[in-house]
Structure 1
Amino acid sequence: MPEEFTEQELHNLAMNVVGKELEKEGFEFMTVNSKLKKDPQFVCLKNKKLHFVIVRAISYPNNPATYDVTYMEIVKQHALNFKARTYYAGVGIANANDYSKAVIKGDKYIINFNGITEI
């Protein structure tokens, strides 16, 4: 019987995608939190400035670029207390064989990630 990825496993996939991008862009990781519903996922330094990055795994057909504006404003206000900049990173994940089906372990999947967005 095919086993679907759990919500936490999809989140971990998204974390890996974003982590690699942040590394490539020269961010230095201060803390990494991969627990679901625990924000921010990444607290980084770049150019001596603090950055908070919120990561979300988004299932098809939802748009990974769309985020909860109200919630992100709350996170941004929290970040400002630390003089930090706030970013959103939505990672779309879909079953490569059939977008309407769940992502199955062992099957191919597609990642839709267009970088981090400053809030």
Structure 2
Amino acid sequence: MSRVLTEQELHNMAMNWVGKQLEKDGFEFMAVNSKPKKNPQFVCLKNKNLHFIIVRHSLLPNNPNSYELDMVKKVKDHAIKFEAKTYYAGVGFASAKGLDHPLLLNEEYIVEYQGLIEIL
């Protein structure tokens, strides 16, 4: 029988989703951190520029692109010291059976991902 996915499993799914997209877009991984509250999750190089990428997941219908301003500001301030750009990557998940169904291990799901949001 299937069980509800844990927060770490959901975070790992979001990391995998974003990581595959970054790879496709030509980013080179310098560091990867899969701990949900340790930021940034990805430190990447692209076109000789450093990029800090924060990854968060949410369960739909919650907005995956909604983020904590204080947390993002801390990462942005840290990135400035390294002349890096900062991005937020929010990934939303829902059961393919509908929003009122829990997200279960080994069952189909829906993903909402609108790409990287640059933090200016």
- Deviation per residue, 1:12-48 (Å, 9 max, x gap): 0000110011111110000111112111100000111
- Structure-1-length-normalised TM-score: 0.95
- Structure-2-length-normalised TM-score: 0.94
CA distance in 2, matches of 1:18, 1:2: 25
Correspondence 1:2-21 to 2 at 5 A: 2-21=2-21
Q: Which runs of 5+ in 2 are unaligned?
A: none
CA distance in 2, matches of 1:100, 1:81: 44
Q: Which runs of 5+ in 1 are unaligned?
A: none
CA distance in 2, matches of 1:102, 1:35: 23
RMSD: 1.0
- Deviation per residue, 1:28-80 (Å, 9 max, x gap): 00011111211110000011111000000111221011111222112100110
CA shift for structure 1 position 107: 1.4
Match of residue 54 from structure 1: 54
CA distance in 1, matches of 2:58, 2:92: 5
CA distance in 1, matches of 2:70, 2:37: 15
Question: Which consecutive aligned stretches of 4+ in structure 1 deviate over 3 angstroms post-superposition?
Answer: none
